[in-house]
Structure 1
Amino acid sequence: MFITLACPECNDETEHEVVAESRDLLVRCTTCGHHQHVPKEREPRVLMIKTIVSREGTSRVCGIELAAEDECTITDHLVAECGDDAFGVEVTSIECGDKRPERAKASDITALWTRTIEQVVVKISIHDGRKTIPVYMECDGESPFVVGDMYVASGKRFKISHLKLRDGPLMRKEGWKTVGHRIKRIYGVRL
């Protein structure tokens, strides 16, 4: 194995061959042959953090690998491992003992609460003039939805009048768009 280091004899960055490994590395400069000991780079400690993955009505206990020094923030997109399955998830809450901070160092986290974002179920309220019909549409989390565009869900054609986002705002202006995993509810008018 070869690494690039500063050689005290050459007074330059040169390629060194690793001769022996123990607590540190014994390396030899390939230019002048000088031997020196250098400390090994520490591999970051990897933690498996307990993660609750929610997908509409169900939840599973899974895990997410993070380096101990990593910082996690609400709305981060990570990959949760659930046995042989892996899911793209968004962090919705961080648990550090009895506290729920907005961000935390991985070594302080006791659990992450997440929701899947790869495949989501979008809730739709379609108004037909007299009543409102609740409909559910399963779609890819990155599927675009645009105010003013027409869609079909459960055999019902509708035009989106506004979009309610998970993080609060209501999108009413024609042409405004977002993706499925950010939507709390779609409101539409039946055609």
Structure 2
Amino acid sequence: MPMSQQRVAVFCPSCSPASETAHEVLSEGGQATVRCSECSHVHKTTIEEESTVNRRVIVSQDDESTEAMVDIPPEEELSTGDEFLVETDEAFLTARITSIELANGGRTDSAQATDVKTLWTRGVGNVAVNLTLHPKDGGHEETRSVKIQMPGDEEFVVGQSHEYGGEEFTVERILVRDDATDYDREGYDFGGDSALAKDLKRVYARDENSRSRAWSAW
């Protein structure tokens, strides 16, 4: 659908007399002529000037989902990768758009707020990072996978040592998520390459604690 076309959320007498749906404005005036995006019914209506539209948001985090509503300027363009603050019953969450569900049931990577039914998002304020750690000195220890919690804006740098959640490790390779922006490839393994925790799919690292655990076993 062309994004330049003016669209509004109004009641449709044919398919949605009880709740607003997205309509294309065919002509303006005191009684504007509009066409329903759901059923294509053309009718006249009074368009109220709205400062915001109320839209549903689903925030996923750590295998759990929270539903909330957000107010958005009707002409605002929304895109996957955009981040915004969501107020839920439990807390304020920083959310990143991963998919946009349209009023007509389709999915897209970008849309005007008036066309949106639901914003599917991922919480990025505090995140769980997947680590794959291999032993520092070899031996009989095996590679292990752990998950650590941290602020989403913490930076991981290839070649640098980090300490989080009781783990000490040196980063060797990082994989970024599909919904991360400002990255030109999925994997980074050169010294100095970096990514934020909220953008990470997985971190491969050398376990700096492996020797101490081997000694403690004795």
Bin of the TM-score, shorter chain as denominator length: 0.7 to 0.9
Q: Which runs of 5+ in 2 are unaligned?
A: 1-47, 179-184, 209-218
| Matched positions, count | 150
Residue 53 of structure 1 and its aligned partner are, at CA, apart by 0.3
Question: Residue 107 of structure 1 aligns to a residue in which SS?
Answer: helix
TM-score, length-normalised on structure 1?
A: 0.73
Residue 124 of structure 1 and its aligned partner are, at CA, apart by 0.7
- Alignment-mate amino acid for residue 170 of structure 2: K
Residue 59 of structure 1 and its aligned partner are, at CA, apart by 0.6
1:50 aligns with 2:50: no
After superposition, residues 2-151 of structure 1 pair within 5 angstroms as 44-83=50-89, 85-96=91-102, 97-128=104-135, 129=138, 130-151=141-162
Residue 153 of structure 1 and its aligned partner are, at CA, apart by 4.0
Question: Residue 69 of structure 1 aligns to a residue in which SS?
Answer: coil
Q: Which runs of 5+ in 1 are unaligned?
A: 1-41
What is the distance in 2 between the residues matched to 1:51 and 1:74?
13
Residue 189 of structure 1 and its aligned partner are, at CA, apart by 1.3
Residue 93 of structure 1 and its aligned partner are, at CA, apart by 0.5
What is the distance in 2 between the residues matched to 1:55 and 1:127?
27
From the superposition, tell whether residues 132 and 153 of structure 1 become closer, same or farther in structure 2 (CA, over 3 Å): farther
Residue 157 of structure 1 and its aligned partner are, at CA, apart by 2.2
What is the distance in 1 between the residues matched to 2:158 and 2:148?
16
Residue 64 of structure 1 and its aligned partner are, at CA, apart by 2.0
Query: Among residues 191, 208, 215, which one is paired with 1:174 in the alignment?
Result: 191
TM-score, length-normalised on structure 2?
A: 0.64
User: Runs of 4 or more off by more than 6 Å in structure 1?
Assistant: none
* 2:25 equivalent in structure 1: none
What is the distance in 2 between the residues matched to 1:122 and 1:52?
21
* 1:163 equivalent in structure 2: 174
What is the distance in 2 between the residues matched to 1:123 and 1:48?
35
What is the distance in 1 between the residues matched to 2:149 and 2:91?
19
- Aligned CA-pair RMSD: 1.7
Q: Does the 8 Å CA contact 2:55/2:69 hold for their aligned counterparts?
A: yes
What is the distance in 2 between the residues matched to 1:184 and 1:76?
18
What is the distance in 1 between the residues matched to 2:79 and 2:194?
25
Sequence identity (%): 27
* 1:186 equivalent in structure 2: 203
Residue 43 of structure 1 and its aligned partner are, at CA, apart by 5.8
- Alignment-mate amino acid for residue 96 of structure 2: E
